[in-house]
């Protein structure tokens, strides 16, 4: 599965971008794609220094995108993003 993740906002305001490809079980891929469908329309709440996640996943030539605020990022996607960030700092 190919991914592109952009994280913006936060205390420092320094954007972070991650892009690559990762091998995942089909079940995990489906869970992530389902979680992307949970995108919440931006509301009136403004949380100072909150992060904004733009996530794009490509599977079998189909691209799925969604944008989440920190408080609305689904748990499955949060775990995935954390895994990608850990891989990036380790490599």
- Residuewise pLDDT in 10s, the chain (91 residues): 999 999 998 777 789 999 999 999 999 999 999 999 887 755 555 666 788 999 999 988 899 999 998 888 999 999 999 999 998 877 5
In a domain, 84, yes or no: no
In a domain, 89, yes or no: no
In a domain, 83, yes or no: no
In a domain, 91, yes or no: no
In a domain, 85, yes or no: no
In a domain, 87, yes or no: no
The count of domains in the chain is 1
Which strand ranges, in their side-by-side order, compose the sheet holding 2-9?
16-21, 2-9, 51-59, 62-69
In a domain, 13, yes or no: yes
Domain containing 69 equals 2-78
Whole-structure pTM value: 0.85
DSSP state of 83: H
């Amino acid at each position: 599965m190919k991914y592109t993740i952009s994280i913006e906002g936060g205390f420092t305001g320094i954007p972070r971008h991650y892009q690559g490809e990762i091998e995942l079980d089909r079940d995990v891929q489906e869970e992530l794609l389902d979680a992307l469908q949970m995108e919440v329309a931006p509301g009136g709440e403004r949380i100072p220094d909150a992060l904004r996640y733009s996530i794009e996943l490509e599977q079998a030539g189909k691209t799925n995108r969604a944008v989440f605020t920190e408080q609305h990022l689904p748990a499955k996607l949060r775990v995935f993003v954390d895994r990608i960030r850990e891989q990036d700092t380790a490599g």
